[in-house]
Amino acid sequence: MNKRMIFGVTIIAIMALTAVFAPFVATHNPLAMDLSSEARLQGPSAEHFFGTDNLGRDVFSRMVYGARISLSVGFIAVFISLGIGVFLGGLSGYYGGWIDTIVMRIVEIMYCFPTFFLIMMVITFLGPNIVNVMIVIGLTSWAGLCRLVRAEFLTLRERDFVYSARVQGVSDMRIIFRHILPNAMAPVYVSATLSVGSAILVESALSFLGLGVQIPTPSWGNILTVGKNYIDYAWWLTLSPGLAILVTVLSFNLIGEGLRDVLDPKLRERK
């Protein structure tokens, strides 16, 4: 495990623990408002680590609870896309023929639409809430994983151990799940890790535009939305969620690169 991967894992572990123990980490109620002039738009202080927003809410507490939203969306959306991508990619790569043709045409159709605008369109029809955001991101981001799994299956199905299993009368499902899939998952783990960061970015962008998590529920994206209106003199409203998104996405990318180095023996040999 290289130093960059250790750094990424450490940051994500801290973020995850913060999200899980949010009621104990947060110093204030993230929804509690104080509309007095003294409480609104306060700068960072010992009482309010990241200052307060335009409604007198503690930004640090909202950031802590916002971590729950961002990490939940990232992991659940990728879990959905992983399930679809591995299933369709495995069928396409193993059986080939008309199944491969149909799956690849669907993948090509998915690639014809700009993903973010497709998500925006679907969310507009379904309504903006966290459940819809998770599902839509997952249902629109599986195409890359599908092609990756298909490529691995096309290579592995021609290996000697697969031919040996067929000769012994092993069923297709057993060959797929016991022999091919475990050997095809290394690049999938890397891609899935990188996809978590992308899903967090998409959720933050949707929330920023008012199509994701809705106020007053705190998320990093809608905290940024509030901050843009006061960026001239309340810089902490933009800096805090911006840095959180940057560090989290960067950490997932570092973990993905580290996994690639660990799981790719050819890359290790070149190094």
> For the domain that residue 264 is a member of, what is the CATH number?
1.10.3720.10
Residue 217 has what pLDDT? 84
9 within domain boundaries: yes
Residue 11 has what pLDDT? 92
34 within domain boundaries: no
Q: Are 22 and 60 in contact (CB under 8 A)?
A: no
- For residue range 86-114, list pLDDT tens digits in order: 999 999 988 888 999 999 999 998 888 77
Q: Which residues contact 73 (CB under 8 A, 6 or more apart)?
A: 130, 133, 134, 137, 199, 200, 203
**Would you place residue 246 in the very low, low, confident or very high pLDDT band (cuts 50, 70, 90)?**
very high
Residue 267 has what pLDDT? 47
Neighbour tally for 216: CB within 10 Å: 12
Calculate the CA dihedral of residues 121, 211, 114, 142 and round it to 10 degrees.
-100
**Would you place residue 21 in the very low, low, confident or very high pLDDT band (cuts 50, 70, 90)?**
very high
41 within domain boundaries: no
- pLDDT for residue 265 is more than 60: no
Residue 266 has what pLDDT? 54
59-95 and 143-156 helices, crossing angle to 10° = 40
168 within domain boundaries: yes
Exposed e or buried b for every residue in 11-33, given b needs 16+ CB within 10 A?
A: bbeebeebbeebeebbebebeee
Please compute the mean of the pLDDT values over residues 115-126 and round it to a whole number. 81
Burial class (CB in 10 A: 0-12, 13-18, 19+), 72: middle
Q: ω before 241 within 30° of 0 (cis)?
A: no
Please compute the mean of the pLDDT values over residues 238-252 and round it to a whole number. 92
Q: Which range of residues forms the domain containing residue 9? A: 3-22+52-270
- pLDDT for residue 199 is more than 60: yes
**Would you place residue 14 in the very low, low, confident or very high pLDDT band (cuts 50, 70, 90)?**
very high
Residue 171 has what pLDDT? 84
Residue 104 has what pLDDT? 92
Between the alpha carbon of residue 184 and those of residues 9, 139, 146, 180, 213, the distances in Å are 23, 22, 12, 6, 35
Number of domains in the chain: 1
Q: Over the chain, what is the mean pLDDT?
A: 86
- For residue range 51-89, list pLDDT tens digits in order: 888 888 989 999 999 998 889 988 999 999 999 999 999
- pLDDT for residue 169 is more than 60: yes
What's the rounded Cα separation, in Å, for the pair 53 and 72?
Answer: 24
Please calculate the CA angle 219-252-179 and round it to the nearest 5 degrees.
Answer: 120
40 within domain boundaries: no
SS3 229: coil
Residue 207 has what pLDDT? 86
**Would you place residue 257 in the very low, low, confident or very high pLDDT band (cuts 50, 70, 90)?**
confident
87 within domain boundaries: yes
What's the rounded Cα separation, in Å, for the pair 210 and 129?
Answer: 10
Residue 247 has what pLDDT? 93
Look up residue 36 and give its two tokens. 């007095």
Q: Indicate the DSSP class of residue 105.
A: H
Between the alpha carbon of residue 186 and those of residues 15, 22, 92, 93, 180, the distances in Å are 25, 33, 18, 16, 12
Residue 228 has what pLDDT? 84
105 within domain boundaries: yes
42 within domain boundaries: no
What's the rounded Cα separation, in Å, for the pair 30 and 59?
Answer: 8
- pLDDT for residue 271 is more than 50: no
